[in-house]
Amino acid sequence: MMNFTIGPVQMDDETLEIGKQQIPYFRTPEFSALMKENEAILCRLFDAPEGARVVFMTGSGTASMEGGVMNFFSSGDNVLVVNGGSFGHRFVQLCEIHQIPFTEIKLDYGKPLTKELLYQFDNKGYTGMMLQLCETSTGVLYNMEMIGDFCAKNDMFLFVDAVSGFMADEFSMKKMHVNAAITGSQKALSLPPSMSFTVLDSKAQKRCAENKVRSMYFDYCDYLKNGERGQTPFTPAVSTIIMLNEKLRRLEKSGGIRVANKTAKERAEYFRAKIKHLPLKLFSALEDSSNCVTALMPTTKGVNAHRIFEIIKDEYGIWICPNGGDMAEKVFRVGHIGNISNAEIDRLVEVFEDLVKRKLL
């Protein structure tokens, strides 16, 4: 089957080869050196400030979302949370669970955060902000330079979920004044689902030390302390760590983050150009759309977006990405990350064209 979802994505041959091997023991100097190298490269790819560290969490991106909320914020904070879709809503839920005082900026699905809306909260005493680099459920890319400047102006701690957007959309912790950011193994890194990675600047590390989290597994201070020796406090997804090292090395040799961003952009543009003749409408405006995913609305009356997902999966052997909640029957998504070729994109477009002929799209 071909996979155009937003994760897990199609893996590289080099990654698949590592997956065939036996899993080694990891409490060794060799594994520690590999972990330290992973940390150094990730910090470079995130363009993190000097002294930044990485927490290697065995868990999905949501695990690191929750870990970040627990470690970076407390009842003494007052944070802004951008809710523009399923994953923005997840930050709202986490603040509620962990009793972090917050104000929700609720956006219409498919719409960006504008400067006019954001600056309604200027000089209002907020201490932090959390949002996605791109809202994966809608395809919207947020203006991180504008948001970062706002947070710097208001001395706010900025925590960004870059799980899907990392390596697809431009992202720089230094340029965008980001204090902590996360990504996941099964997204553009094209590894198996199993791990998420949080890059922390010195301010984020200080917040972890001051918060004294009441948790064993999510205590980032423990991860940072163990990371000094190139280890994690608990058993990590060892194979994924090894796959990550090979992928990061290869990524840097091929030109680094700029080349990765360029590849995702070209792939997204290629797909969007190929579907212009089809009865499909971009859910978010082109200028507000992420390179990692295209969210699409069928324009033919009576066509159910979730049914399109089912037909393409069952009859053509291709995965696209369905949506949930209010958008389940209206919007489906096509991912542009992972090991995808233009020939495979052409095949997906042919499938859409066949559905039009069958009067199913």
Is pLDDT of 286 > 90? yes
Categorize the per-residue pLDDT at 187 as very low, low, confident or very high, splitting at 50, 70 and 90: very high
How far apart (Å, rounded) are the C-alpha atoms in residues 26 and 349? 44
What DSSP string runs through 317-359? Answer: -EE-B---GGGTTT-EEEE--SS--HHHHHHHHHHHHHHHHTT
The pLDDT assigned to 126 comes to: 98
Residue range 209-244, pLDDT digits in tens? 999 899 999 999 999 999 999 999 999 999 999 999
How far apart (Å, rounded) are the C-alpha atoms in residues 140 and 137? 8
Give which of 90, 89, 97 is closest to 73, Cα–Cα: 97
Is pLDDT of 326 > 90? no
Backbone angles phi, psi at 155, to 5 degrees: 50, 50
Is pLDDT of 251 > 90? yes
The pLDDT assigned to 273 comes to: 98
Within its chain, how far is the Cα of 165 from the centroid? 5
The pLDDT assigned to 348 comes to: 98
Give which of 187, 134, 172 is closest to 256, Cα–Cα: 172
Residue type, 283: F
Q: How many CA atoms lie within 13 A of 168 on its CB side?
A: 33
Q: What is the mean pLDDT of residues 320-330?
A: 93
Categorize the per-residue pLDDT at 184 as very low, low, confident or very high, splitting at 50, 70 and 90: very high
Q: What is the mean pLDDT of residues 284-309?
A: 97
How far apart (Å, rounded) are the C-alpha atoms in residues 136 and 52? 26
Q: Six-digit token pair at 357?
A: 């002929």
Is pLDDT of 307 > 90? yes
Categorize the per-residue pLDDT at 269 as very low, low, confident or very high, splitting at 50, 70 and 90: very high
Residue range 27-74, pLDDT digits in tens? 999 999 999 999 999 999 999 999 999 999 999 999 999 999 999 999
Biggest alpha carbon distance in the chain?
A: 62
Helix axis angle, 238-253 relative to 29-45, nearest 10°?
Answer: 50
The pLDDT assigned to 256 comes to: 95
What DSSP string runs through 62-106? Answer: HHHHHHHHHHH--TT--EEEEESSHHHHHHHHHHHHTT--EEEEE
Backbone angles phi, psi at 179, to 5 degrees: -90, -30
User: What is the percentage of the chain residues whose pLDDT exceeds 70?
Assistant: 100
Categorize the per-residue pLDDT at 118 as very low, low, confident or very high, splitting at 50, 70 and 90: very high
